């Protein structure tokens, strides 16, 4: 099937009646971060797929929405991988794979769950990037793998979730998720928590959630209607069902995003560049109602209408520039036993008007003072929450989470405030041993000078000793060569003597011991007479040699 027939077929298959007249992206096509092009745009130019800037000369593979001068990322590929540099490349390969080649040339699949080989790709005007096979069937689309955003004609299916960005300008996975559950409920949770009502901080209640079953989905259409669809009998539950936005005739593109602050918002993007927040869940002024909006060991409160995170007494921010990421203890925890009270080491710090919605390890009815005392005496207890209305005491271990503080100028949706007793280090620390007296600067300099002089003398001694040891060894070797005494080596090896050495040892061949067929044997001495030797002189060879010497 040629390119033209594929394009004509696609015009009939694109959902929502969107008309695409651009040429398809063919196998072999590629884009570079700083190249031309650096992205594959949709026909209208409202959406683009490619390299989106992320920091200084780094990029992520993303889909973004462009309205006027505003650009908003709506989908991110491999969002938890590190950003790539300008040496990366994105390509629809000749074998029909959509891959990213990073700066080291490593191949990373973007559409790794594609069901077949791609013959072409399109960036559609609804924000969906699609791969097609030779039969014009969709084999992969970005709408099936949402990250933090739903666009018009996109659904969040049963058992799937949106995960927020970690920070406003960081598109990696964050701390909150929106789940379309199997039981029909749509709920917001902190990540890595149980799917329980305790951890959920917002729920889209429907009139018959359990009957929805496994076909339930969350739909956002092109007109901004956001609804839960049970997928069987056509029952809908609307989150947003009536939009009457002021409009000057510009096209409106709707986007539903779970933001980094844990709030799920529906936005309207006008092609003139303006952006409007249509609705938010659990509410635009409900930041402190988001479980884990403030991290461990901190509490959330409002300054005017802005949620602010504050560390508990005795704790500091883990990351001072990111106060929502929690706090750490500033004092060292001392050991204790259950039989012995820890009042000498700790004291209980009181925080009033606290809301705490987590599970304690101990709960009982008692007085306010008894609640504080029992936590102080309990090694396991790090904090105790006392509810004055029910006279209940709840003891907790670290880390503490889901804490909010009600101030005079702000209100929460509930009035379940109480007193939090926090175990902190005692203000009067135990008596410390007297400090060690430090030496004066003059004494320090004297020590340094003496140490340096001693080190110099030691090094000089080593150098002189090494020199004399070397000289002694050389002298000893020379004497050994003169005497010819090589010790044990002479007994087990052969030694070669010169004619002059043999002549001197036999006193010029003076004393003859005997005579053989080749010459006479003479008596000789080595080592000044301490060793006797016999030397055989080959007469014929000697006479010829001496005659030859005389002729010369």
Q: Which of 520, 518, 489, 476 is nearest to 502 (CA)?
A: 520
pLDDT, tens only, 398-421: 999 999 988 655 555 555 689 999
**Rounded to 10 degrees, what is the CA torsion of 218, 220, 225, 231?**
-40
From the list 527, 285, 496, 530, the residue with the least C-alpha distance to 410 is: 285
Instruction: Work out whether strand 202-204 and strand 170-180 pair parallel, antiparallel, or are unpaired.
Output: unpaired
Q: For tokens 């001197």, what's the residue? A: 504
Q: Where in the chain is the domain with CATH 3.30.200.20?
A: 495-551
pTM of the model: 0.70
For 348-404, write each residue's pLDDT tens digit.
999 999 999 888 999 999 999 999 999 998 888 999 999 988 899 999 999 999 999
Q: How far, in Å, CA of 348 to CA of 411, rounded? A: 27
DSSP letter for each residue of 105-121: --EEESSTT-SS--SEE
Task: Say if residues 94 and 27 touch (Cβ distance below 8 Å).
Answer: yes
Query: Long-range contacts for 274-282 (Cβ within 8 Å, ≥24 apart)?
Result: 274/67, 274/68, 275/67, 275/70, 275/72, 276/245, 278/224, 278/240, 278/243, 278/245, 278/254, 279/239, 279/240, 281/188, 281/202, 281/204, 281/239, 282/188, 282/201, 282/202
Q: Are 298 and 312 in contact (CB under 8 A)?
A: yes
Range 311-338 average pLDDT: 86
| Chain mean pLDDT for the chain | 82
Q: What is the mean pLDDT of residues 307-316?
A: 93
Across the range 2-11, mean pLDDT stands at 38
Question: Is residue 340 marked as binding?
Answer: no
The full DSSP string for 169-183 is TEEEEEEEEEEE-TT
CATH node for 495-551: 3.30.200.20
Q: Which band of pLDDT confidence, cut at 50, 70 and 90, is reported for residue 155? A: very high
Specify the fold of 1-145.
Answer: Agglutinin, subunit A (2.90.10)
Listed in order, the ranges of the chain carrying CATH 2.90.10.10 are 1-145, 146-284
The span from the CA of 162 to the CA of 476, in Å, is 89
Looking at the chain, the whole-number percentage of residues with pLDDT higher than 70 is: 80
Measure the CA–CA gap between 363 and 396, rounded to whole angstroms.
9
pLDDT band at 118, cuts 50/70/90? very high
Which tokens in the block code for residue 545?
Answer: 């040699």
Q: Which of 49, 1, 10 is nearest to 29 (CA)?
A: 49
Nearest-angstrom CA–CA distance, 204 and 228: 9
* CATH 2.90.10.10 correct for 146-284: yes
Say how many CA atoms lie within 13 Å of 162 toward its Cβ. 30
The pairing of strands 403-405 and 298-303 is parallel
In terms of Cα–Cα distance, which of 177, 183, 218, 215 is closest to 199? 177
Looking at per-residue pLDDT, the higher value among 245 and 383 belongs to: 383
**Residues 326, 298 contacting (CB under 8 angstroms):** yes
* pLDDT per position as a tens digit, 25-45: 999 999 999 988 889 999 999
């Amino acid at each position: 099937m040629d390119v033209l027939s594929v394009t004509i077929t696609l015009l009939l298959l694109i959902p929502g009646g969107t008309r695409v007249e651009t040429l398809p992206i063919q196998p072999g096509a590629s884009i570079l971060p700083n190249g031309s092009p650096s992205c594959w745009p949709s026909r209208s130019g409202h959406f683009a797929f490619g390299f989106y800037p992320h920091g200084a000369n780094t990029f992520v593979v993303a889909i973004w929405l462009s309205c006027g001068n505003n650009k908003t990322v709506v989908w991110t590929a491999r969002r938890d991988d590190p950003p790539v540099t300008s040496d990366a490349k994105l390509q629809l390969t000749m074998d029909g794979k959509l891959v990213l080649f990073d700066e080291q040339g490593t191949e990373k699949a973007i559409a790794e769950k594609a069901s077949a080989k791609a013959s072409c790709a399109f960036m559609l005007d609804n924000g969906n990037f699609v791969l097609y096979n030779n039969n014009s069937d969709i084999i992969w689309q970005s709408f099936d793998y949402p990250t933090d955003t739903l666009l018009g004609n996109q659904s969040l299916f049963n058992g799937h979730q949106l995960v927020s960005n970690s920070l406003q300008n960081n598109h990696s996975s964050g701390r909150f998720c929106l789940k379309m559950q199997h039981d029909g409920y749509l709920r917001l949770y902190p990540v890595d928590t149980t799917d329980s009502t305790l951890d959920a901080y917002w729920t889209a209640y429907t009139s018959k959630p359990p009957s929805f079953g496994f076909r339930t989905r969350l739909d956002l259409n092109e007109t901004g209607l956001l609804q839960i669809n049970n997928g069987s009998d056509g029952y809908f539950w609307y989150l947003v069902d009536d939009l009457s936005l002021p409009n000057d005739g510009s096209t409106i593109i709707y986007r539903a995003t779970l933001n980094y602050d844990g709030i799920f918002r529906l936005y309207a993007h006008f092609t003139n560049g303006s952006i409007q927040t249509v609705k938010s869940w659990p509410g635009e002024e409900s930041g402190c109602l988001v479980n884990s909006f403030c991290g461990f060991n901190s509490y959330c409160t409002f300054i005017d209408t802005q949620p602010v995170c504050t560390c508990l007494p005795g704790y500091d921010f883990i990351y001072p520039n990111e106060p929502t990421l929690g706090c750490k203890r500033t004092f060292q925890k001392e050991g204790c036993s259950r039989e012995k009270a820890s009042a000498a080491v700790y004291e209980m710090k009181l925080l009033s008007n606290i809301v705490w919605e987590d599970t304690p390890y101990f709960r009982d009815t008692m007085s306010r003072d008894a609640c504080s005392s029992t936590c102080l005496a309990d090694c396991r207890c790090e904090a105790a929450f006392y509810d004055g209305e029910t006279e209940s005491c709840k003891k907790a271990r670290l880390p503490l989470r889901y804490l909010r503080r009600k101030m005079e100028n702000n209100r929460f949706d509930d009035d379940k405030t109480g007193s939090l007793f926090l175990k902190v280090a005692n203000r009067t620390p135990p008596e410390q041993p007297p400090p060690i007296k430090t030496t004066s600067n003059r004494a320090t300099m004297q020590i340094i000078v003496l140490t340096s002089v001693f080190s110099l003398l030691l090094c000089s001694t080593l150098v002189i000793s090494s020199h004399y040891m070397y000289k002694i060894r050389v002298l000893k070797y020379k004497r050994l060569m003169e005497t010819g005494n090589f010790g044990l080596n002479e007994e087990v090896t052969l030694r070669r003597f010169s004619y002059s050495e043999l002549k001197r040892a036999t006193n010029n061949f003076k004393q003859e011991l005997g005579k053989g067929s080749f010459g006479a044997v003479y008596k000789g001495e080595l080592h000044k007479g301490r060793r006797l030797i016999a030397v055989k002189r080959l007469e014929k060879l000697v006479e010829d040699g001496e005659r030859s010497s005389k002729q010369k």
